A and B are shown apart, each in its own frame.
Chain A
Amino acid sequence: MRRPSLARFQRRLWPALLAALLAAVAFLWATPFLWTLVASFRPEGAGSAGMASLLPDTPQTLENFRNAFESGSFGLYYANTLIVVVGVLAVQCVTVSLAGYAFARLSFPGRDMLFYAFLLQLMLVPPALIVPNLRTVVDLGLYDTLPGVMAPYFASAFGTFLMRQTFLALPRDFEEAAAIDGAPWWAIIWYVLLPMAKPGLVAFAIVSVTAHWNEFLWPLMVINDPAKHTLTIGLAAFTRGAEGGKEWGVLAAGTLLVMAPLAVVFVAFQRRFVDSFVFSGVKG
């Protein structure tokens, strides 16, 4: 009589232990974010000795956010980052749709070779080529401009590949009907294919926006004028500034400001984000 109940106890114990362990690891994983949340609402008077505490203080304050906005001109950084992210995405949507269509639907000499030439960008990722690309940007007269930050990303091998796959999965009937009715190629892409390819475009948009919202090294090299700094450059300067002082709450608030928009969108569209990122592994 005893043994079966012991076995049952064990059968229940192990999953419970595993769940507890998992919860502990998850808590550890979330600790940096928990600290950011707690510290960014912590009043300055709390003193730097208890700054690392994960327990929220009772009088919460928005003072740190106000300081971050004032001393770091985060409003400006938001605007610049938005310009870069939207500008890159807008041009990319055009280039990848056209190229994706050509690779998916047209046959022409040199197609395979050109396709592999595109895929080369997945290996020679832009960060590896910052030195020559900076010189190219200077030659083009785009140094210290936001278009200079965007230009290397206007062509996207990942986007082209993704749109090609999306187009290949679509039935041909609609476009053939449109072609028989005499619709030109651009009308077929714009009115027939793109509306059906929306999931592909959305997946690409998620990956592209995340990548360029988070980008740092390249804008750091191209931009000199503080009025054109993006969020990541602003945050890095901010971190260096906070080094000496007791401004940890302000730094936490600044970090939160940089992360928040993507985090909110992620929580709203979690499923789509995850799917897009799994596909984006192709991007490298």
Chain B
Amino acid sequence: MSLAGTTGILDEVERTPVAARPRRRRRVRLLPYALLAPSLLFLALFTYLPVVRVAIESLYDQPHGTGAGTTFVGLGNYAKVFADPAFRQAALNNLIYAVGTLLPTLALALAFAVAVQRSTRFSSVLRTVFFFPSLVPLVAAASLFFFIFLPGLGLLDYYLAKIGVEGPNWLGDSDVALWSVIGLTVWKNAGYYMLFYIAGLQNIPRDTIEAALIDGANAWQRLRYVILPALLPTTSFVVVIALINLLTSVDHIIVLTRGGPSNATNLLLYYIFQSAHENFEVGKAAAATLLSVAVLLAISLGSMRIMERGTHAKA
């Protein structure tokens, strides 16, 4: 995103006689910073300083409710976090959750996009149906799936019983619970990423596909050698925003499982939430927060070039 080459309107103002007076000129120079100030104030309070704050807090031990003062413990909190089986479990779960959600979500998003890209009435209804889950609050989705996953009486078991299948305890079995949560997330997000693929498909020049058709490429070959490569920027872009999303939303965990059974659905952000909000372990929560900030930055910066390409393509 190039910022060069914009000649500001204020340059024009400076050339007018009114702006030539020194006091006026000074104000004009300060103007850009004054316009940015309100945003910068809140960015400083809630984006920049918090990172500094957790970085410092993560080096101290602040016992809760004992009345003891804070003591410097260096990297002690990080050692404690890494030694905590719950944290390791949460990190591993988050990895499984991210990969396990990402692959089916991307495949479905692309399949939906290919299926509904034509502008017929039927397609537009399907588009709405697929997109709709991403519009509802994650909490509402969790409430619905609470009933869907209900053992015995729930929607899933009720209809599985009709075809003679007995489902597992979807949220109560520690081997199954994380996959149930993954199912919910795929259902919730696939339609959202579908939108990007629809936009991406529309940007593929028609002649490229027609050329492939003339060369006798069948549907699979067209997808594999023409459409997928052309959608690579879209895919990279979707992967980044999906990963950030998968690391920073745990509303459904809070409503459905509270990280259980026995930490089977604990995710990083839920671990942080628990340490801070339920166990009052400030130092540990700070250390875990900084670790997740590092992961987020690594994902984003690692893909910065791709993201820039993505926004260029759209602009």
Contact = CB atoms under 8 A, between A and B. Distances in A.
A in complex with B: yes
Interface string A129-168: 1111111100000000000000110111100100001001
Given A26-B130, A214-B136, A217-B251, A125 B296 contact: yes
A121 B43 contact: yes
Given A52-B154, A258-B140, A262-B136, A108 B16 contact: no
B306 interface: no
A274 B192 CA distance: 9
Interface residues of B, number: 103
Contacts of A270: 128
A155 B250 contact: no
A104 interface: yes
A185 B32 CA distance: 11
B8 A107 contact: yes
Nearest to B142: A239
A131 B54 contact: yes
Given A105-B6, A132-B54, A274 B131 contact: yes
Interface in B1-58: 3, 6-13, 16, 18, 29, 31-33, 35-36, 38-43, 45-51, 53-54, 57
A255 B143 contact: yes
B148 interface: yes
A184 to B, nearest CB: 9
Given A118-B39, A236-B254, A255-B144, A111 B139 contact: no
Contacts of A114: 36, 40
B236 to A, nearest CB: 12
Interface in A197-238: 210, 213-217, 220-221, 231-232, 235-236, 238
Interface string A234-254: 011011100100001001101
A282 B31 CA distance: 27
A265 B12 CA distance: 43
A29 B315 CA distance: 33
A104 B126 CA distance: 39
Contacts of A1: none
Interface string A1-40: 0000000000000000011001100100111110110000
A98 to B, nearest CB: 4
A187 B261 CA distance: 59
A57 interface: no
B38 A155 contact: yes
Choose among A115, A128, A235 the residue with the greatest number of B CB atoms under 10 Å from its CB: A128
Interface string B253-283: 0110000000000000100110011000000
B50 A168 contact: no
A133 B277 CA distance: 13
B6 A216 contact: no
A28 B173 CA distance: 24
B300 interface: yes
7 contacts: A52-B147, A121-B47, A125-B244, A125-B248, A240-B255, A255-B140, A281-B196
Interface of A: 18-19, 22-23, 26, 29-33, 35-36, 48-49, 51-54, 94-96, 98-99, 101-108, 111-112, 114-115, 117-118, 120-136, 151-152, 154-157, 160, 165, 168, 172, 175-176, 179-180, 182, 185, 188, 210, 213-217, 220-221, 231-232, 235-236, 238-240, 243, 248, 251-252, 254-255, 258-259, 262-263, 266-267, 270, 273-274, 277-279, 281-284
Interface of B: 3, 6-13, 16, 18, 29, 31-33, 35-36, 38-43, 45-51, 53-54, 57, 115-116, 122, 125-148, 153-155, 157-159, 187, 191-192, 195-196, 199, 237-238, 240-241, 244-245, 247-251, 254-255, 269, 272-273, 276-277, 285-286, 289, 292-293, 296-297, 299-301, 311, 314-315
Closest 7 A/B residue pairs (Cβ) = A52-B158, A132-B50, A155-B42, A214-B137, A123-B300, A152-B46, A102-B35
